[in-house]
Structure 1
Amino acid sequence: MGEDRFRHAAKEGRTLLTGWLTCNSPFLVELIGEAGFDCITIDQQHGMGGNEALLSCLTAARASGLPAIVRVAENDPGLIGRALDAGAQAIMCPMIERVEDAEAFVKAVKYPPRGLRSWGPYRARLDYDGDYFTTANDFTVACPQIETRGALDRLDDILAMEGVDMVCLGPNDLSVALTGRLDIWASEVKDAMTLVLKKCRERSVMTLIFANDIEFAKPRLEEGWTIVAIGTDAGWFAKAAAEVRRAATISR
């Protein structure tokens, strides 16, 4: 995919909407693309399916013109390289705690001399404009998650790291880390969001945030995060199914 939609949006100050997949169905990728979303996030940490599901979703994303973010299950070079080779542009890594965690993650995403990514982009190079090896480090996106107290305490060092292109703020896990309860509206979470967005702008690092619902998302859209996710495919389906069932019950 020749267009670098993520960096173009950041440069222009536009916010992208990402469809967050947990069911990991290629048909849902196509429906999300038809609905007009800007990109797709394939969750392999809290989502369904393994490599076969990932490959199918990435194939559908390419056909739908959607750049893909893959959240890997853990900070593992094999999982990261496999997702990149299969066609993901961005890799999101959960539970970053230390600077060493972020450094290992970036090295897995980037080719030498910056990193240690192994050569073999069997799908990543399809329709790629230019020589993939020499330009991939500027195209791929390493996105550590800021969702632990450790990552928040070490935010300056993580953002200063060469190759950290984007960070994802995970308000659910971060609320637990900061308050001991699941409360994304807590003042501690709001302060963390403000800090992360400010620091990222100072460093020209792209930002992504997960919003549980539209009520939480609207202020984030107004704040100008680079990418906003609003719920998940499973959540959308469950809500729609409940609304249909409720409407059918009322009409009897």
Structure 2
Amino acid sequence: MDRFREAAKARRTLFNAWLTLNNPFLIELIGEAGWDCITIDQQHGLGGNEALLACLTAARAAKLPAIVRVAENDPGLVGRALDAGAQAIMCPLIETVEDAEAFVTAVKYPPRGLRSWGPYRARLDQAGDYFTTANGFTIACPQIETRGALDSLEEILSIDGVDMVCFGPNDLSVALTGRLDIWAKEVKEAMTLVLRKCRELSVMSLIFANDVDFARPRVEEGWDIVAVGTDAGWFSKAAAATLGAARTK
């Protein structure tokens, strides 16, 4: 099953649980809670390859399709995450069309790309010949979070093999305004542009929302995938709220 593409075709927004603690048990709880998919963050998250493998194993058991954000645009990191069972790879800090092309080349097998053969876990979820189906199942998701990526947006979205993009409002707000302000006018204008271009060019759209207040309008706008905060943020807020409630006389 390809939950990402099926939901996008049906214009149904998926809710993404963004993990920075990268704990397998949390993934089981997230699945039980009813989230649609997860992002395992290896750029700003905890753990290395062992944590990644454990999280992808838990995701498969919980029936949660997994996006992995790699630390950088490196074909070794991309291939490792795909072989371990990630369906989608997110790449941060894309600046140019050349960056995006190099990323797609790492995600896709020949003749489109140069991904090396060795899908030791990835093949477990695929019926038939994995090599012939992988390029249509895997997802290359460059992030739009720099001025360069925004300036080259249409060219990046037009690259064969760019299946999805992730709009990063935090980094983009800094790039566009010099301050961390996801509600800035410049960020709102960029969001509108990215979503419109994704629809025009049939590219799936993912956006990270810091909180529910930012997420709700994005769902109404029809983004394909909306991430709402992070596991660490949820825990921090719940821990503070629980303690505050217990201390109240």
CA distance in 2, matches of 1:22, 1:130: 34
Amino acid across the alignment from 2:6: H
Which of the numbers 63, 66, 79 marks the counterpart of 1:65?
63
User: In the TM superposition, what is the alpha-carbon distance from 1:142 to its structure 2 partner?
Assistant: 0.1
Q: Which residue of 2 aligns with 1:150?
A: 148
Q: In the alignment, which residue of structure 2 is the partner of 1:113?
A: 111
Counterpart residue identity of residue 156, structure 1:
E
SS in 2 for 1:69: strand
The number of aligned residues is: 249
The equivalent residue for 2:137 is: 139
- Tell me the CA shift for residue 15 of structure 1: 0.3
Counterpart in 2 of 1:96?
94
Output the CA distance in 2 between the equivalents of 1:187 and 1:131. Answer: 48
Partner in structure 2 of residue 56 of structure 1: 54
Question: Any residues of structure 2 matched to 1:67-216 within 5 Å, and which?
Answer: 67-216=65-214
Q: Note the 1:21-60 alignment, pairs <5 A.
A: 21-60=19-58
CA distance in 1 between counterparts of 2:190 and 2:83 reads 34
CA drift of 1:131 comes to 1.1
Q: CA deviation at 1:81?
A: 0.1
2:240 counterpart residue number: 242
Q: Which of residues 3, 6, 31 in structure 2 aligns to 1:5?
A: 3
Q: Which amino acid aligns with 2:23?
A: S
Could you tell me how far apart the structure 2 residues matched to 1:135 and 1:23 are?
Answer: 32
Structure 2 equivalent of residue 218 of structure 1: 216
- Structure 1 residue 127: Cα displacement: 3.0
What secondary structure does 1:231 align onto? strand
1:128 CA displacement = 1.1
Aligned-residue offset at 1:129 = 1.8
What amino acid does structure 1 have at the position aligned with 2:84? Answer: A
Unaligned runs of 5+ in 1: none
Secondary structure (helix, strand or coil) at the match of 1:101 reads helix
Write the distance in 2 (CA, Å) between the matches of 1:208 and 1:36: 18
TM-score by length of 1: 0.98
RMSD between superposed Cα atoms in Å: 0.5
Cα deviation for residue 130 of structure 1 reads: 2.3
For the pair 1:229 / 2:227, whether they are aligned, the reply is: yes
Identity %: 80
Counterparts of 1:53 and 1:147 in 2: how far apart (Å)?
A: 26
Gaps of 5+ in 2: none
Distance 2:247 2:193 in 1: 46
SS of the counterpart of 2:112? Answer: coil
> 1:130 and 1:141 mapped to 2: Cα distance?
19
Give, as a single letter, the amino acid of the residue that structure 1 aligns with 2:104: V
Q: TM-score, normalised by structure 2?
A: 0.99
- 1:115-147 Cα distance to aligned partner (Å, 9 max, x none): 000000000000312211011000000000000
**Structure 1, 128-137 or 91-100: larger mean CA deviation:** 128-137
Q: Supply the distance in 1 between the matched residues of 2:104 and 2:180 (Cα, whole angstroms).
A: 29
Deviation at 1:24, TM superposition (A): 0.3
Partner Cα separation in structure 1 for residue 202 and residue 191 of structure 2: 16
- Distance in 2, matches of 1:96 and 1:130, equals 34
